[in-house]
Structure 1
Amino acid sequence: MALPEMDTSVGHSFGLEIDGIVIKQISEVSGLKMEQDVIDLPQNTADGKFMRKKLPGRPKPGEVTLSRGLTNDQSFEKWAKDAQFGKMKDARKGGAIIVYDFEGVAIKRYKLHNAWPKSLEIGTLKAGDATVLMEKLVIVHEGMEPA
């Protein structure tokens, strides 16, 4: 059952879809942001007064950061290696961040265009530590749009 029209979602369940494969074990997503340049146009009005007009410019590319507990799934590592070794034909992918409702039904998608991994970071290894070991993937993209 989808959310009623006026209810809002709780951002606790989400996943990454790349090449038709959905990874739902992600614990945090940050950087979902659509942004564009602003053009500052100084001009005079018809009566001679100075004013500054703001115009929309080009869309800006962005970065999305995904965090998940370390598992034996090698998908992040393989994707990062493709980018690291310059195999950009394989590394650039279309995908989406998907937000699910409380019953696991997809309620919102944020499409990423020409996304590829900028960095992959493994959390701190510390003897005697009992916290979950995390891996963090930073993805750059050439555009994001709600779908």
Structure 2
Amino acid sequence: MALPDMDTSVGHSFGLEVDGIQIKQISEVSGLKMEQDVIELKQNTADGKYVIKKLPGRPKAGEVTFTRGLTSDNSFEKWIKDCHFGKMSDARKGGAVIVYDFEGNPIKRYKLTNAWAKSLEISTLKAGDTSVLTEKLVVTYEQMEAE
């Protein structure tokens, strides 16, 4: 059952899908953003007053960061390796961040077009530390659409 119009979703229930495959154990997604350029049109009106109009410009490409606990799953490493070695036909992927309601039903999809892995960072390795190791994958995309 979808959320009624007056209810909002919470940020703890989400998933990542890349080329139809669910990537598991994502703990954080940051940087989801739709943005476009702003064009300033400077002109004088008929009565000589100076005005500035702001017009919508081209959409901007973006970046999103995915964080998950370090596991034996090597999908992030494989994706970044394809990008580093220039296999862009394999590296550019379609994907989506999916937000779920309390019952596990998808309520919103943020579709990423021509996404590819820009960087992969492993958290700090420190002797005696008991924190969970994580990996952060930064993905750049050409377009994002909300569905």
Runs of 4+ in structure 1 deviating by more than 3 angstroms, as ranges, are: none
Q: Output the CA distance in 2 between the equivalents of 1:33 and 1:143.
A: 10
In structure 2, what residue type is equivalent to 1:47?
D
TM-score by length of 1: 0.97
Residue of structure 2 equivalent to 1:139:
139
Cα RMSD between the aligned structures?
0.9
Q: Output the CA distance in 2 between the equivalents of 1:104 and 1:127.
A: 39
Count of residues in correspondence between the two structures: 147
1:141 Cα deviation (Å)? 0.4
Is 1:82 the equivalent of 2:77? no
SS at match of 2:96: strand
SS at match of 1:116: strand
Residue of structure 1 equivalent to 2:13:
13
1:22 Cα deviation (Å)? 1.0
Q: Output the CA distance in 2 between the equivalents of 1:139 and 1:66.
A: 8
Structure 2: gaps (5+ residues)? none
Q: Output the CA distance in 2 between the equivalents of 1:113 and 1:82.
A: 17
Deviations 1:117-138, CA, capped at 9 Å, x for gaps: 0000010011111110000000
Is 1:48 the equivalent of 2:45? no
Residue 14 of structure 1 contacts residue 24 of structure 1 at CA under 8 Å; is this kept in 2?
no
Structure 1: gaps (5+ residues)? none
SS at match of 2:137: strand
Q: Output the CA distance in 2 between the equivalents of 1:13 and 1:43.
A: 48
Give the alignment of 1:1-147 within 5 angstroms. Answer: 1-147=1-147
Q: Output the CA distance in 1 between the equivalents of 2:2 and 2:39.
A: 40
